[in-house]
Structure 1
């Protein structure tokens, strides 16, 4: 157990975790505001004593820099990775401890590909054979935001330009961005694998009726043709939501960059944009227009996007339902099921 003389101080906002002291204001005004007035999606990072003693303390002691403060946080309900903000002599860092090797490998590879251009710089990492997988990366200063915020639309021009640069990183195969992951010659092969993975898991949980399962299969078989012959395998983020898009309220909501690449794959860039437009900037026409301007998509490109929109939204909500069931997140499961049914109702005639 650490005491007041510990080189680390662990806590959340002004509520100390048992046995640990608090380090306040270690990462500047934006982060302090984030901790003082957290949005509902941020919660205390839950680690038991064994995890602290056997993993966190050992990692902190082994970092090749002097760590003077640490605040553990997690970003959302169901978050299985552990996120810890660090203060070191070289500046703010984010320590991320992973719950499985796949997400660790993916994020490491993505950050290596992107090289810190508008994304965190990968400073240090665990070995692939270590029992606990982690990375230490630079911190992108940002503030919590969402559609209610009065953010100038020009900010999304900068975001669109940056996302286009990320999507310009391409591969000759689709799927995993790591060399030892599953890759496919065709995009629809990756989507087929994902769909049946979701479908089989969900069908065994008795959360959907036989009629709902039938309609899901009909919709998939009818819509998968819209993604045939896609040849561009781009690096895509797959989780473009406010929590992962760094904007700074201290600088007129300036765009800072993107983080949290643990779900990145090589795929159709429009798969990324569906999540962005449906959720992140939904209902903000000026933000959407600014994004398209920055991304550089013409009317023909937007038409192609709309042709694939419903299918990609369908797959995303199906995957979200599986994730919610895996994590016993009942509210998220209900919301995902409702979104699925809305798509099916709008596109299929029930009989």
Structure 2
């Protein structure tokens, strides 16, 4: 493989090493984090959403630099900012229902197929006997929504939080990191933020312009996301954290 670095796009605050490279004649984004390397996620996102939504990692001119939001930003402001950013991101839907994961190369016919492929692993980790019936209840609620009408898929961020939002010199807010981006159901992003990061659910959902006729689907996604996140936390020895308690709370209330 013939690789040549064109430009260093690493951000000083993320700890990631990011290069614009050519590999055998193709231009790619190469990212290294915790000794793991990946080529596809960021450039996949850049090809999927307009420049106005995703700051360009390719055209890294000085006037396109973005600073991370300050940690002392008001909680309500953060909920409104991220709600608005997710709404804007999710408006760019795709027509085909198939899901491609650029991180591992997995392709599934539908978003539900993609989720269900991970379920046995989640349940084995968090406790099949305790959570299996709840899993099937949640996944069947989502399936029923798909049966009623085909849901539009779009690029979902899967890591919307303070650390991944930047502010430009013009005062515009943008998502900075698409390392986990994938084509999927937008309510997965909404459920994730509600569990992990939200301060005011009302403020966030208003900024997102959430359609409350979908509340049943959202509640089901919250349970599914809680299971997937508990699996991650247990495997990373973080079962004593506040995030884990939030997941348990979602599944027990």
TM-score (norm 2): 0.72
Offset at 1:219?
0.2
1:327-346 superposed matches below 5 A = 327-332=236-241, 335-336=243-244, 338-346=245-253
Q: Which one of the candidate residues 57, 62, 65 is aligned to 1:122?
A: 57
**In the alignment, is residue 268 of structure 1 matched against residue 188 of structure 2?**
no
**What is the number of equivalent residue pairs in this alignment?**
232
Offset at 1:143?
1.9
**In the alignment, is residue 285 of structure 1 matched against residue 194 of structure 2?**
no
Closer/same/farther in 2, CA of residues 195 and 142 from structure 1, 3 Å limit: same
Question: 1:225 matched to which residue of 2?
Answer: 140
Residue ranges of structure 2 left out of the alignment (5+ in a row): 20-28
Q: Does the aligned pair in 1 maintain the 2:155–2:184 contact within 8 Å?
A: yes
Which whole-Å CA distance do the structure 1 matches of 2:102 and 2:229 have between them?
23
Residues 202-224 of structure 1: per-residue CA shift (max 9 Å, x gap) = 15xxxxxxxx5323101011121
Residue ranges of structure 1 left out of the alignment (5+ in a row): 1-58, 75-81, 87-93, 125-137, 204-211, 347-351
Q: Does the aligned pair in 2 maintain the 1:153–1:286 contact within 8 Å?
A: yes
Which whole-Å CA distance do the structure 2 matches of 1:241 and 1:218 have between them?
31
Q: Does the aligned pair in 2 maintain the 1:281–1:288 contact within 8 Å?
A: no
Which whole-Å CA distance do the structure 2 matches of 1:179 and 1:159 have between them?
23
Question: 2:156 matched to which residue of 1?
Answer: 236
Which whole-Å CA distance do the structure 2 matches of 1:266 and 1:117 have between them?
19
Q: Which one of the candidate residues 159, 179, 190 is aligned to 2:114?
A: 190
The structure having more radius of gyration, on CA atoms, is: 1
Q: Which deviates further from its counterpart, 255-264 or 173-182?
A: 173-182
Offset at 1:259?
2.3
Question: 1:51 matched to which residue of 2?
Answer: none
**In the alignment, is residue 143 of structure 1 matched against residue 69 of structure 2?**
yes
Which whole-Å CA distance do the structure 1 matches of 2:227 and 2:80 have between them?
33
Offset at 1:227?
1.3
Question: Pairwise CA RMSD of aligned residues?
Answer: 3.7
